[in-house]
Chain A
Amino acid sequence: MKMNKAKRKVAVAPVDEFPPGERVEIKVGKISIAVFNVKGEYFAIFGICPHQSAPLSRGRLQGTVVCNEHTNWEKEWAHDGEVLVCPGHAMEFDLRTGKAFGYGMKLRTYDVIVEDDWVTVIL
């Protein structure tokens, strides 16, 4: 039987106190989640780097270089402003998907909604 667990919501900040370019770190028990406002769009991603445990909420947001069949195997700058770079040793994560660039792994991402004018993360 499938359990229908109610999802837990965490109100992070009032919308007008969480403008583009800002970020917060939330801790729910032992779990750390990094939340970003990138040009008006909210992202939430698991907050601890799997490499050496650095806090991803402190990572810079940059672009990265891609090279694949879509770029005809030429290097191209891509994902500008949406690549979270770990402040430990620069592992890169796609904020939209949690996917680690160049690794077969992905961090958990969380939905973020605005509810009653509060930015709210759904766990």
Chain B
Amino acid sequence: MQVSMNINGEPVTADIEARKLLVHFIREDAGLRGTHWGCDTSNCGTCTVWVDGEAVKSCTVLAAQADGHEVRTVEGLEGADGLDPVQQGFIECHGLQCGFCTPGMLMTARWFLDRNPSPTKDEIREAISGQICRCTGYKNIVDAIHWAAEHPRTNEVTA
């Protein structure tokens, strides 16, 4: 079946099997490898992207379901003014070691901060409770998101 969607503002069209998961469409058909494909079971959250402004686990959404919708991936975080504060926060606070979980952490963090701009650290921990990091113990990730909360973004949201 033919599927078309906007990813980070760019139209992407491909002829795919109906069973194809959104994460594989993003990586294989759109060629955007920033979104990682992890546990395959909706647990780890590294495949998190936005569909119509809502953070979702793209291993548990069919690409067909995103047909005609707006998708935003980690590649769409950086704006004309440079890195999004959540990206900068992960640099400032050393919010990653191997980096595998990072794209999902970043997309969830930005979605969360847009809805709750001044969270407590407990609220940040709850917000990322659907993301798994096997390196850091989460402390630096929570610090990074907290850093971002104190540095509001200036970039326009693309989707």
Q: Do A and B bind each other?
A: no
Q: Which residues in B have some Cβ–Cβ distance to A below 8 Å? A: none
